[in-house]
Chain A
Amino acid sequence: MKKLLNNKNTRSNLVIYLVVTVFFLVMQGMNMGGMLTSSWKGFLVPICVYISLAVSLNLLVGICGELSLGHAGFMGIGAFAGIVVAALLQDAVALEPLRLFIAMIVGGVLAGAAGFLIGIPVLRLRGDYLAIVTLAFGEILKNIVGNLYVGLDAEGVHVSATSAKFTLLEGGKMILDGPVGATGIKKLATFPMGFVLVLITLFVVLNLVNSKEGRAIKAVRDNRIAAESVGINVTAFRMKAFVVSAFLAGMAGALFGLNYSSMAASKFNFNTSINILVFVVLGGMGNILGSVISATVLYVLPEALRSLEDYRMILYAVVLILVMLFTWSPRVKEFVSVVTDKISGIFKKKEVETNG
């Protein structure tokens, strides 16, 4: 009995790892074999990044039950931290994957630290108020990150919050240029590293969910008062989930930042947070495999619709609304089942007729 239960969890986890690995191997194989189009080659890393973001946000929204609208803020911290670290280590660490990995870890740690600092005040609130405060923090983070000036020259690293007195020595390199962001980034991100990121994310989130911490987090979601009454420190566990989620978002952000040659803080705005949230909700709350798949599909979908030109985004909007109605609305679901019954009824009738 107990074994069976364990098996069930392990089995569903294995399915997730399997799907991800197969996807990676197929894509990597096609890539090496030159069978991928330029577009798809370009999608590979962002897909990994968005999977990781969606899964980490799912930990917060689906499993912990806290609506966060500021996930992109952590992504942004990770991205810029990663860009700065990678630039500083340009000469110190020659091996590119290692430099990238260090950048991702630093990005994750900084985002996690920001998550902790923000968590102290924020996690006193609940529900929609928590949502608005995370939104506010996301905007604050973007605003602050977007006004940082970081430069490297012979003297060392210079950091400032205004451009007014920011000057570098001759031959110095501007790493972050305020709202304009980072330009001339050395692209380090690779698809295999994206795959590693997804594996790390899945490993952390799945292991967390199926442990005593995960049970406590789910208990807090299901019934906060009861969880307290059995000795669970609710704030501590919301905090753990928040920090882990921010850490993973930071790692993903670092990979994202190092996948492009220029990156502006405005990328990490409310809209990006919302997009990640859409991945989570459409994939199913608390459903990790759902997040993985919906992040992939919904990232590619608007790109696949490019031939529609002006009607592309409006169609995306319509698809979004319809999917929400079809997956959530009890009435629409009922209607669909009636229609499908009727259709299958017609087919059955025909079958009977042809048989008879």
Chain B
Amino acid sequence: MQILQYLINGISIGAVYAIIALGYTMVYGIAKMLNFAHGDIIMVGAYISFCVTNYLGLPAFVSVIAAMAVCTLLGILIEKLAYMPLRGTPSLAVLITAIGVSYFLQNGAQLIWGSAPKNFASIVPLKPVFLAGGELVITGEVIVTILASVLIMVGLTLFTTKTKIGKAMRAVSEDRAAAQLMGISVNNTISMTFAIGSALAAIAGVLLCSTVPTLQPTTGAMPGIRAFTAAVFGGIGSIPGAMLGGILLGIIETFSKAFISTQFSDAIVFSVLIIILLVKPAGLLGKQIQEKV
């Protein structure tokens, strides 16, 4: 029973990682950049949602929509101002810029919202489900997070395979130059990717803080790195891979904390990542690309 409870906890935090990882994977797959500021967009999303519910007193779903709207705009803005001018330069230049953006968002958030942590009241109205005579608890957040992550994964898959914009995204991800020749606007497609990735980050932020209630300017940093790990784990660029990677990471993290060592859980999580990459260098569901000679 104990093990089941940990499994549920693991899946729950894993599902949050999965949603963040989906955003990472989208951006990486299409813009080919490691957007280290992604975690901080999550934090902004959570703050917006917090403000809308606490200061304006509006219902939870409005706050989620507001957070998504703000993050989408923010994502596009960051992309246009900081990343777009660097298109075509070495990926390292963009990486450093992304780190600059991350510092900017963290410190900007501290200026706006202060450094005192806020306790994020869960936006999930569901009551927990008690099973096996109360020994097993499934909270509303767990249910909603898992549902949301699955819905987002399915939605994204459909979006990238069925819609015109989605197909354009895949084309840009495969071969940017060829896509441009086909009349696809690479800039617009990448902006669109950032918009979607950031909207997902907003949802992730709200769900993350519903599960783990502390909200402060650094809230997004660590989950951001974890989710990035999850994305690589599952095969970066692959939508189901991000989902699988996130869930697995959450479970491994929870289990290693519960049964091996709370101190070494980081080392264990990252060791598993390395082992996976050595066996499958492109991640669990990633495509192995052979260099043409």
- Is this pair of chains taken from one and the same complex? yes
A197 within 8 A of B: no
Chain A, 130-159, CB within 8 A of any chain B CB: 131-133, 135-137, 139-140, 143-144, 147
Interchain CB contact (< 8 A) of A143 among B266, B278, B293 = B266
Interface string of B274-286 (1 = CB under 8 A from A): 1001100110000
Q: Give CA–CA (A277, B103) in the complex, Å.
A: 15
Determine if B181 is an interface residue (Cβ-Cβ < 8 Å).
no
Chain B contacts of A332 at CB under 8 A?
A: 85
Identify A324's interface contact among B96, B110, B111, B225, CB under 8 A.
Answer: B96
**Does B232 reach chain A (CB closer than 8 Å)?**
yes
Decide yes or no whether B135 CB sits under 8 A from chain A.
no
User: Does A329 lie within 8 Å of B85, measured CB to CB?
Assistant: yes
**Beta-carbon contact of B232 and A132 below 8 Å:** yes
Q: With A and B bound together, what is the CA distance between A125 and B281 in angstroms?
A: 7
Known: A128-B34, A282-B96. Contact between A143 and B101, CB under 8 A? no
**B125 interface residue per 8 A CB criterion:** no
Name the contact of A281 in the complex, choosing from B92, B108, B266, B291 (C-beta under 8 A). B92
Query: Using Cβ atoms and an 8 Å threshold, which residues of chain B touch A121?
Result: 274, 278
Tell me which of B95, B108, B267 contacts A139 (CB under 8 A). B267
Interface residues on A, range: 35 or more
Bound Cα distance A162, B103 (Å): 35
Q: Contact check: which of A128, A270, A314, A325 meets B82 at CB < 8 Å?
A: A325
| B interface majority secondary structure | helix
Known: A136-B274, A140-B270, A325-B85. A317 touches B92 (CB 8 A): no
Interface string of B99-143 (1 = CB under 8 A from A): 111111011101100000000000000000000000000000000
Set of chain A residues within 8 Å of B96, measured between Cβ atoms = 277-278, 281-282, 320, 324
Rounded to whole Å, the gap between the CB of A326 and the closest CB of chain B is 10
In the bound complex, do residue A67 and residue B92 qualify as a contact, i.e. CB atoms below 8 Å apart?
Answer: yes
Is A328 in the interface zone, CB < 8 Å from B? yes
Q: A67-B92, A325-B86 are in contact. Are A278 and B99 (CB under 8 A)?
A: yes
**Contact status of A328 and B99, CB under 8 A, knowing A132-B232, A314-B111:** no
| B264 CB–A CB distance under 8 Å | yes
**Nearest B residue (CB) for A278:** B96
Are A137 and B274 interface neighbours, CB within 8 A?
A: yes
Contacts of A125 in B (CB 8 A): 277-278, 281
A32 CB within 8 Å of chain B? no
Q: Name B226-243 residues within 8 Å CB distance of A.
A: 228-229, 232, 236
Chain B residues contacting A311 (CB-CB under 8 Å) are 111
B86 close to A129 (CB less than 8 A): no
Does A95 make an interface contact (CB < 8 A)? no
Q: Are A324's CB and B277's CB within 8 A?
A: no
Q: Does A170 contact B (CB under 8 A)?
A: no
A140 contacts which chain B residues (CB < 8 A)? Answer: 266-267, 270-271
Is the CB of A330 closer than 8 A to any CB of chain B?
Answer: yes
A328 touches B89 (CB 8 A): yes
Beyond A133-B274, A147-B263, A329-B85, whether A324 also contacts B107 by CB under 8 A is no
Q: A314-B104, A329-B86 are in contact. Are A136 and B273 (CB under 8 A)?
A: yes
A329 to B263, Cβ gap below 8 A? no
Q: Is the CB of B99 within 8 A of A330?
A: no
**Cβ-defined partner of B89 (8 Å) among A274, A321, A329:** A329
In the complex formed, the residue of A with least CB distance to B293 is A225
State the Cβ distance, B263 to closest chain A Cβ, in Å.
5
**Residues 297-332 (chain A) with a chain B CB within 8 angstroms:** 310-311, 313-314, 316-318, 320-321, 324-325, 328-332
Q: Are A143 and B267 in contact (CB under 8 A)?
A: yes
Task: Report the nearest A residue to B92, measured CB to CB.
Answer: A281
Chain A contacts for B108, CB-based, 8 A: 314
Q: Which of B41-92 contact A (CB under 8 A)?
A: 82, 85-86, 88-92
Docked Cα-Cα span, A131 to B229, in Å, equals 11
- Alpha-carbon distance between A274 and B97 when the two chains are bound, in angstroms: 11
Q: Is the CB of B277 within 8 A of A328?
A: no
**Residue B154 at the chain A interface, CB threshold 8 Å:** no
Which chain B residues numbered 180 to 236 have a C-beta less than 8 Å away from chain A? Answer: 225, 228-229, 232, 236
Please, which residue of chain A has its CB at the minimum distance from the CB of B96? Answer: A281
**Further contacts, 9 of them, CB under 8 A, given A313-B103, A317-B104, A320-B99:** A143-B264, A143-B270, A281-B96, A317-B100, A324-B96, A324-B97, A324-B100, A328-B90, A330-B89
The 22 listed contacts between A and B (C-beta, < 8 Å) are A61-B92, A124-B281, A125-B278, A125-B281, A128-B91, A129-B232, A132-B229, A132-B232, A136-B271, A139-B267, A140-B266, A143-B263, A144-B267, A178-B263, A270-B225, A277-B92, A317-B102, A321-B100, A324-B93, A324-B97, A328-B93, A329-B86
5 smallest beta-carbon distances between A and B, as pairs: A317-B103, A320-B100, A136-B270, A329-B85, A317-B104
